[in-house]
Structure 1
């Protein structure tokens, strides 16, 4: 992994403010180190300071806590952790709502591919363009889910930009909400996704369910059902950096969201060496690249392009 980006991540975490659950001592923490494909799991911390001290010495490419609450979160056997409840979450991916422009190319020779891999070098990198317009549609879905949770289930939720290509709707659960098993969560999934028009237990007596909602022109929501029904899911920590974009996992207020460099915690510029020739959408900017010709970019765009596989960051200027 690029040393410049590793140092920038380290600097960020040395001064960052993470949004952690009030009962963090009951949560499992996990991270993916730079240059590794595997996660370090079964970590437990009693305070934010303890966590930050750890991650400034073990720089995370991705950083998580568990939606589940455990008696012994540091136990390395899931059965020994002692599950005592879990929060409720929904994952909305813009890729599932829009049809993003995608290009596959060989990172060695820069050839645009029609096959799964370069015939000469046996490698392939795929880049999908995510636009602000597409993310706005995903946010509309998140807002719809938030409204349904509040109106039909009396559950308060928060919306977070995932840091990459979508949004999370998150309910901090206690009581009966936390103790729902996967089947009970599946009932909520079926209701919100429009698969079931019957009232869910706890809904208002005069609630028309999805029959009434669809009559009003509300579109069916699109989200990853497996995330919602999983009672032991890992959650990206708000305030952390997404390792596939360099952008912050950030709370979204209403529909006030812009897919631009304001989501990036870094300042300055960088020299970027493209691995492919073409024009690409990077956040809210169109950038023309010629393979092998260095270009000067805002550091946020350079990091985003690097983490998407388009080239290398060679020099950083604050």
Structure 2
């Protein structure tokens, strides 16, 4: 599928005929009056900032009349959202953009996306969600298709007040090599899963022996076998593990996670740059953005 920029006419068509307020997730509707909303009206960035809405009706009217090029909301809750004052709490979020993936199965050039790398982005998102659930016991997690990737939005009440989020990011993205790679659970298990994701997609592997045995290497590590990389020396093994950890650290945008005052693209809004709908994903496993997030003016 070719990703084309939406025209002004197409934007108005989408917001007038297709967009519905009920497509806005409940977690945003319920906190509407505590959120800052931001809008890009011409494709030059969200310069319309500090917008607030006291009612769903007001918000619905605004969206249908303005048909914004892009719409965003704060991940933070404020007592005075119009001034971004009196911060209350904020979602923990992870931003995975398919166009920026450091490793991918496809041959897309940087900045471009296709069905394959969108699939890679979803697999990465689900891997991170699994780690958030199993290691932090977080349950109130939402997955949103952002138009060119995925946002993970964590709304467990106890998590909303955490201000230093860098350690959580490093943990679930497996940004460091664990001291004990073979412990059954905890961080070593997270690292092994992320190693499998990343190592399976690295393209600049020069060793023919590693390339030939790549699938077996991954299988052995997931099975916690010490001989998972017995085809290379110890120093090479350490270098490979370090390289994978460094790639892992850049698979999601860490700046987004640690910034408690971030704005995120609004679910249900149109990503006009690529003419795709930013959408709350209900069935994580089966969701296909090229079938479920395409506006009607493209079909």
1:34, 1:59 within 8 Å by CA — same for their partners in 2? no
Q: 5 Å matches for 1:53-132?
A: 53-75=61-83, 78=84, 81-95=85-99, 96=101, 97-98=103-104, 100-102=107-109, 128-132=111-115
Mapped pair 1:161 → 2:145 = yes
Q: What is the root-mean-square deviation of aligned Cα atoms in Å?
A: 2.7
Shift of 1:146: 0.7
Q: Deviations over 1:79-116 (max 9, x none)?
A: xx1111100100111121436534xxxxxxxxxxxxxx
Q: Which has the higher contact order (CA 8 A, sep 6+)?
A: 2
Gaps of 5+ in 2: 1-5, 199-247
Distance 2:51 2:114 in 1: 36
Distance 1:191 1:83 in 2: 26
Distance 2:111 2:176 in 1: 33
3-state secondary structure, aligned to 1:4: helix
Partner of 1:113: none
TM-score (norm 2): 0.69
| Closer, same or farther: CA 86–128 of 1 in aligned 2, 3 Å | closer
Shift of 1:198: 7.2
| Closer, same or farther: CA 2–160 of 1 in aligned 2, 3 Å | closer
| Closer, same or farther: CA 198–69 of 1 in aligned 2, 3 Å | farther
2:174, 2:190 within 8 Å by CA — same for their partners in 1? no
2:71, 2:265 within 8 Å by CA — same for their partners in 1? yes
Gaps of 5+ in 1: 103-126, 200-205, 268-298, 301-318
Q: Deviations over 1:175-223 (max 9, x none)?
A: 4x11211xx2001011112134779xxxxxx973332344466446520
2:172, 2:190 within 8 Å by CA — same for their partners in 1? no
Shift of 1:257: 2.4
TM-score (norm 1): 0.65
Q: Which has the higher strand share?
A: 1
Q: Deviations over 1:235-256 (max 9, x none)?
A: 2221111121221111222221
| Closer, same or farther: CA 55–13 of 1 in aligned 2, 3 Å | farther
3-state secondary structure, aligned to 1:144: helix
Q: Which has the higher helix share?
A: 2
